[in-house]
Amino acid sequence: MSVRSARRWLPVILVAACAPQARPLAGTLAPERKLPTIELASGHRRIAFRWDYEENALMVRGEGAIRTASPDSARLDLFLNNGAAVGRATLIGDKLTATNQAQVERVLPPAPMLWAALGRLAIPALPDTVVTIEGDVVHADIGRPTAWRVTLKGNRLMRLARLSGGRIAEVVTRDEGGRLLYEVPGRRKLWLGITRDEEVPAFDASIWGI
């Protein structure tokens, strides 16, 4: 599939934003306000997944693969159900580069949210962090006004939300069964269902080129 033909399944749809109000943090205030460092698993991994994209009445499905190299490099390839290539992207540090930049960025989360989907917490450093504890779950609001809301369970990143004006502008949720959801409330959703996650030998350097 050419870049031009791949674009046909992503028409421009204007939808009114329906960002929900962020609720107060659950739990009790923690004595420490510092969050643990949450990074990619060490080494190199290949992750296969199924994906579903929904925007208003539009629904698209397919499969894909992510290759990660610790500490801060990832490559993602997307295909439709018929095997046609949608596009590929690399995320190195905070820079997301794609073969068809506008359309891939329309489907994929921005860099901090995409890292969150992969289990890495990589958001800008901001002051005034509020941390609460709810059993074995840690919640945190970061920034003043709050710009990010983080939920951790042990050393696992479970949820990252970007807030704007006290409302949830976008959110990544990771369950323990290998299913990920990226959502811009009231506008679009991207589900990833992990089918295989394995450690592999080091990748050839050429895979990071777009």
User: Per-residue pLDDT tens for 3-37?
Assistant: 333 334 333 333 334 789 999 999 999 988 788 89
User: Per-residue pLDDT tens for 36-66?
Assistant: 899 998 999 999 999 999 998 889 999 999 9
The pLDDT of residue 41 is: 87
Calculate mean pLDDT across residues 111-139. Answer: 93
The pLDDT of residue 44 is: 97
Tell me the helix, strand and coil percentages in the chain, rounded to 5.
10, 45, 40
Calculate mean pLDDT across residues 109-131. Answer: 93
Choose among 198, 4, 195: nearest CA to 99: 4
The pLDDT of residue 17 is: 47
User: Per-residue pLDDT tens for 177-201?
Assistant: 889 999 999 999 999 999 999 999 9
The pLDDT of residue 137 is: 94
Choose among 178, 168, 102: nearest CA to 141: 168
The pLDDT of residue 100 is: 78
Dist CA 88 CA 105 (whole Å): 10
The pLDDT of residue 15 is: 35
Q: Tokens at residue 203, please?
A: 């990748």
User: Per-residue pLDDT tens for 133-161?
Assistant: 999 999 999 999 999 999 999 889 999 99
The pLDDT of residue 86 is: 85
The pLDDT of residue 32 is: 80
Q: 32 Cβ partners below 8 Å, 6+ apart?
A: 131
User: Per-residue pLDDT tens for 68-105?
Assistant: 999 999 999 999 999 888 889 999 999 999 987 777 77
Q: For 3-7+22-202, which CATH class?
A: mainly beta
Dist CA 98 CA 38 (whole Å): 25
